Every structure is written in C-alpha cells, then in structure tokens.
Amino acid sequence: IQETHLPNSLSLLSVDSQTLQKQIDELSTFSDSPAPSVTRILYSDMDVLARRYVKNLMGLAGLSVREDAVGNIFGRWEGYEPEIGAVATGSHIDAIPYSGKYDGVVGVLGAIEAINVLKRSGFKPKKSLEVIMFTSEEPTRFGISCLGSRLLAGSEELAKALRNTVDNQNTSFFDAASFAGYEKDEEKLSSVFLDKGIYSAFIELHIEQGPILEKEGISIGVVTAIAAPASIKVDFEGNGGHAGAVLMPDRNDAGLAAAELALAVEKHVLESGSVDTVGTIGIMDLHPRAINSIPSKAHLEIDTRDIEESRRNIVIEKIHQSAMAISKKRGVKLSEFQIVNQDPPALSDSSVIKAMELAASELNLTYKKMISRAYHDSLFMARISPMGMIFIPCYKGYSHKPEEFASLDDMANGVKVLASTLAKLSLH
Ligand code: HGY
Ligand code: MN
Ligand code: MN
Ligand code: MN
C-alpha cells in the first residue's frame, strides 16, 4: 500500500548532516578564489564543474534530471498522482567574488538531502517533488539578479534584454551560455518560461544572511515576505586631464561626481524615515584609474531596497534627481542612468507558511516569522506558484564573505523542516 501518511514518527526524518557538510565542502572547492572564500560565476569553468557535481548528487538521490536552455537544473521524484502540480524546492550555487560556501548551496544540497531523508523514511509522494538549481541568482556576471528564476517566471523583458547583454569582458550572454553547453539560439529562450500552476508550491531553504535568529536563539525562520530590490547603473563623463596642471575651476571630475552621488544615495535612503530602506554602491570604477589623472569616466552601480515598494521608488526618483543636479553643477555628462531592475516585494503563501509552522512545531523547533531583506529566487517563483522560505541561523548573520557559516545542527533542522513541509504539501 502506498504510504499515504507522513512517517508515523518524525524522528524517522534522520538527516545525514556529516555527508551534507562534506558535500558543501567539496562543492566549495569549485571556486576561482582561494579557500575559505568561494567565487563561482555563471557559466565559468568552475560553475560547469559544480553543476556536474550537483547533477550527480541528484542522480544518486534517484531523481530524474533535466536542464533547460539556460541551465536551470531540475531533479524530479515522480509522485503517484504526477498530473497535479509538483511541490518544488531549490536555490542557487553561484557565488559572488570572495564570498562564502553556504549562501544558496544549503538550499540545493539541503534539498537533495531532504529527498534522501524522505526516501529513507519510506515516504511516497502523491504530488511529485522537484528539486531546482537555478542557473544564476547573483547579478555578478551580467548585472541581472535571479536571471534563471526571472526567465522561469516568464520575463519577456529579460528574454529580450539578454539578446544584447554582454559581461565586462564583452562576452555575450549566449556565447557564455553555449560555452557552458547551453543554448546559443536566442529564439529558444521562451522555452524556459514555465506555465503557471506547474507547481502547487515552491519552498526555498536558505541561511538567514542576517543576525536575528542567532541573536534570539531561534532555530527556524518562517519567511512571510521578501523585500523589494532595485539596482541602478550610472556613468558620468568629464574631460579628465593632468592631476597637477589643471586648476580646480577648470576641472569636471567624473570621480568626484560619482563620490557625491554615492553620498546622495545614503542621504535619500536615510530621508525615507524607515530603517527598512537600505542602499549602497557596490561598484565604482574610475577611468583611466591612474593616481595623477583626473577621472574622465566613472561607472557606479547602486543597490537599494525596501520592504515598502513605493517608499523605495521615491528613493530611486531622488537619486535620479541628484544625478542630474550633480552633472549640471560639476559640468560632467550623465551618460547613463539605467534602472536595471525595480522589482516588487513578494508575499509568502499562507498555506505554505502554515505547513512550515506545523513542521517546525512538530519537530519541537522554535521558529519566528520574519521578512527576508535579501532577495532570492523565491521572489520570482512567487509569480508562478505559492511560495515559502525556511531560514536557518548563520554565524553573526555573516554572508557574502568567507566567514559565512551555518552549524550542522542548524542545517539538519532546516532540512528536516523542509522534508516535512514537502511531505505535507505533497500529500495535501
Ligand atoms: O543580494 C541578495 O540579496 C542575494 O543574496 N543575492
Ligand atoms: Mn547571495
Ligand atoms: Mn542566496
Ligand atoms: Mn555603464
């Protein structure tokens, strides 16, 4: 008879956290920067090796593996009612320069371990279960965050933009994709779009990337919403010139214009009156980047977010005003002001939240409902499926740096809550 109920005692959900840690450590060796940092950029050699590693683990877990045109990878465990929308889970394994080995990875390797946990417990899925490794969540190479999940969610705008997207070595998206063994033909991009309802739920396990759970001694975060991210690219151009010979009144220094705009970002964010509004400039490139040459070009990239979309959009508007004012005042050209993405926030689905809360309490784990200030692929999966996220604590909230760390216990707790939530939603 099919196992139609959850494993009678949840203690059957035993997580092999030693093996999970070993896999996390092995995966982290596929990196373009020295340990303990991890750098793994979309479609690089290291990314291709890491993909092979993940596909192998999916195969060992008995999942049937497929990849789409841009390298989103799917591992499926067919349920006994396969025609209803599957319950999906997943995250990413790409890593920004000099970052850590847990961001995203816990939600991919942990999801495969959750499948193994359910198999070991004798569970049989009614709705199929699917593990997804999104092709790239970080904006590092092409400046677009959540590239894979945006396409899965059906972004025509992104499919169009990718036709003339290049990285900073001037390699086109499609050349990079075909280098990694994926689709070269831009006409094939819409094959990535998923039909709404293909999934009955999507859940992502992720480290918190913040200090709250650890500080409050809470085991699990049940995410209720994901903040609204935006990114802006700005270029200033001036005449440059000799850093000694050109007198100040004759200068139009692109570097100082960028510096003034950076401080204006901080000013406009703080003016919002809410601690939930954040902003920084993560990239500032000066040209020709010589100490005794007045910068003739400055390229800066701004990341600003808020849980309140309209408040964030006011900040973006003010930054644009400041960029134009600075350009006028300093006689530099504002040659680019491009809003790369300006996404709405996403709300988690109430029934998915309930399933996660029930799973945590049945496992006697303390949990707290909270907002995710980091964005995730879940932000876009929420557009085509009821969404939920499970957070686990991470050391001092560190992330996007080599000191990023999650303990075996915390990862095991997260995997158990994920496994139990997947099982509940699959039998629902
Ligand atoms: O930047 C973010 O929020 C995500 O961690 N990439
Ligand atoms: Mn990240
Ligand atoms: Mn992440
Ligand atoms: Mn530019």
pLDDT digits (tens, 9 = 90+) for 163-173: 999 999 999 99
Q: Provide the pLDDT confidence category of residue 98 given band limits of 50, 70 and 90.
A: very high
CA 211, 216, 219, 223 dihedral sign is: negative
User: 171-225 pLDDT, tens per residue?
Assistant: 999 999 999 999 999 999 999 999 988 999 999 999 999 999 999 999 999 999 9
> For a pocket test of ligand 1, which of 150, 209, 278, 280 has the largest count of ligand atoms closer than 8 A to its C-beta?
209
Question: 46 CA distance to ligand 2 centroid (A)?
Answer: 17
Ligand 4 midpoint to CA 154 (Å): 26
pLDDT higher than 50, residue 241: yes
Note the pLDDT of residue 2.
40
Rg (CA), the chain: 23
- Integer Cα distance of 164 and 157 in angstroms: 12
pLDDT (0 to 100) of residue 9: 53
Q: Which residues surround ligand 2, an ion (CB under 5 A)?
A: 103
**Which residues, other chains included, contact 358 with Cβ-Cβ below 8 Å and sequence gap of 6+?**
424
In the chain, what are the domains? 3-227+345-427 (3.40.630.10), 228-342 (3.30.70.360)
Q: Looking at residue 401, what DSSP letter applies? A: S
Q: Note the pLDDT of residue 104.
A: 98
Mean pLDDT of the chain: 96
pLDDT of residue 101 exceeding 60, the answer is yes
The 10s digit of each residue's pLDDT in 272-301 is 999 999 999 999 999 999 999 999 999 999
Residue 17 near residue 25 (C-beta atoms within 8 A): no
Phi, psi at 220, each rounded to 5°: -130, 140
Q: Which of 102, 145, 307, 340, when mutated, tests ligand 1's pocket best, judged by the most ligand atoms within 8 Å of its CB?
A: 145
CB 60 within 8 A of CB 52: no
264 lines ligand 1 (CB under 6 A): no
Give tens-digit pLDDT for 326-365. 999 999 999 999 999 999 999 999 999 999 999 999 999 9
For residue 169, what are the contacts with CB-CB under 8 A and spacing of at least 6? none
- pLDDT tens for residues 131-148? 999 999 999 999 999 999
pLDDT at site 13: 86
pLDDT reported for residue 1: 34
Distances (CA, A) of 414 to 87, 93, 101, 264: 17, 17, 16, 40
404 lines ligand 1 (CB under 6 A): no
Our answer on whether the CB atom of 138 is closer than 6 Å to any ligand 1 atom is yes
* Helix or strand run (H / E) with residue 337: strand 333-342
Query: Ligand 1 pocket, 204 CB below 6 A?
Result: no
Query: What is the distance in A from the centroid of ligand 4 to the CA of 183?
Result: 27
Query: Is the backbone peptide bond immediately before 139 cis, with ω within 30 degrees of 0?
Result: no
> In DSSP terms, which residues pair with 341 in a beta bridge?
231
Residue 282 to residue 267: CA distance in whole angstroms: 16
CA–CA gap between residue 326 and residue 334 (Å, rounded): 9
Q: Ligand 3 centroid vs 112 CA: distance in angstroms?
A: 17
Q: Which whole number is the average pLDDT over 230-240?
A: 98
Cα 277 to ligand 4 centre (Å): 25
User: What does the pLDDT read at residue 221?
Assistant: 98
Distance 375 CA to ligand 4 centre (A): 23
| Percent of residues in the chain assigned helix, strand, coil, to nearest 5 | 40, 25, 40
Contacts 24+ apart (CB under 8 A), 269-275: 269/304, 269/315, 271/315, 271/318, 272/306, 272/311, 272/314, 272/315, 274/306, 274/308, 274/311
Tell me the CA–centroid distance for residue 213 and ligand 3, in Å: 17
- Euclidean distance between CA atoms 69 and 148, whole angstroms: 10
Residue nearest to atom 3 of ligand 1 (CA): 374
Sign of CA dihedral 187, 189, 191, 197: negative
Residue reference for tokens 């067919």: 78
Query: 102 CB under 6 A from ligand 1?
Result: no
ipTM of the complex, rounded to two decimals: 0.89
In the block, tokens 């050109």 appear at 246
Q: How far apart, in whole angstroms, are the C-alpha atoms of residue 418 and residue 205?
A: 7
Report the SS3 class of residue 254. Answer: helix
Residue 11: how many other CB atoms lie within 10 Å: 10
In 15-128, where do the E strands start and end? 38-40, 64-67, 73-77, 86-92, 95-99
Which bound ligand lies closest to the C-alpha atom of 104? Answer: 3
Ligand nearest to the CA of 232: 4
